[in-house]
Chain A
Amino acid sequence: SQKIEQNSEALNIQEGKTATLTCNYTNYSPAYLQWYRQDPGRGPVFLLLIRENEKEKRKERLKVTFDTTLKQSLFHITASQPADSATYLCALEGHSGYSTLTFGKGTMLLVSP
């Protein structure tokens, strides 16, 4: 069955450093991979989408890579700030126009001043 793995342990980093979060998947060939941010008690918010034929995508301080051979996506936040502290979810979408998203459980990022 499809499986998405994100590090369940919180990632603690210092302000100004680059945060790198990992999303690994098995038994899946996604057409797209998405990253969402979720703050405590709130709904997830879409951040970035990357297609299967794209290696890298950037948006301001965010960068996502997608390696379909390794079945892995890396999510980077450069020059991290305490306001970046949240849980980050990856989500996979299949090729069918009738696909739904499958979400990972998320990794909590804590950026200390």
Chain B
Amino acid sequence: DADVTQTPRNRITKTGKRIMLECSQTKGHDRMYWYRQDPGLGLRLIYYSFDVKDINKGEISDGYSVSRQAQAKFSLSLESAIPNQTALYFCATSDAGTSKFETQYFGPGTRLLVL
């Protein structure tokens, strides 16, 4: 089984809808991240969490919120989806708290289309 899983893998929604993307990991890592990737713009950090009680905004947090339900689970919500949130979303984990290096392990991605 994959160490970092994301659900759903594909999602089509309409403008104004609230949606949630979920991420689970079995790596036992404390740190979790949400990125979005757009053609030509690369990976951009939305939110990150260094442990269950820690939530931090990334580069592009407007329009998004997160919840860290447990060490293994980190969810991303779009409160009111808009078309420019159409993108490929990745969850990632790292064990930098113990290993010192911020090597990240990515999930398979969620492709989101907002109509």
Q: How far is the CA of A100 from the CA of B94 in the complex (A)?
A: 10
Do most interface residues of chain A lie in helix, strand or loop, or is the interface mixed?
loop
Q: How far is the CA of A89 from the CA of B111 in the complex (A)?
A: 20
> How many A residues touch B, CB cutoff 8 Å?
22
Report chain A residues within 8 Å CB of B42.
89, 103-106
Name which residue of chain A comes closest to B41, CB basis: A105
| B contact residues, range | 20 to 34
Q: How far is the CA of A91 from the CA of B103 in the complex (A)?
A: 10
Interface presence of B104 (CB below 8 A): yes
Report B78-115 residues with CB < 8 Å from chain A CB. Answer: 88, 90, 92, 96-97, 100-109, 111
Whether the pair A43, B109 counts as a contact (CB closer than 8 A) is yes
Q: How far is the CA of A45 from the CA of B104 in the complex (A)?
A: 8
Query: How far apart are B94's CB and chain A's nearest CB, in angstroms?
Result: 8
Report chain A residues within 8 Å CB of B101.
32, 49, 93
A→B interface (CB under 8 Å): 8, 32, 34, 41-46, 49, 89, 91, 93, 97-101, 103-106
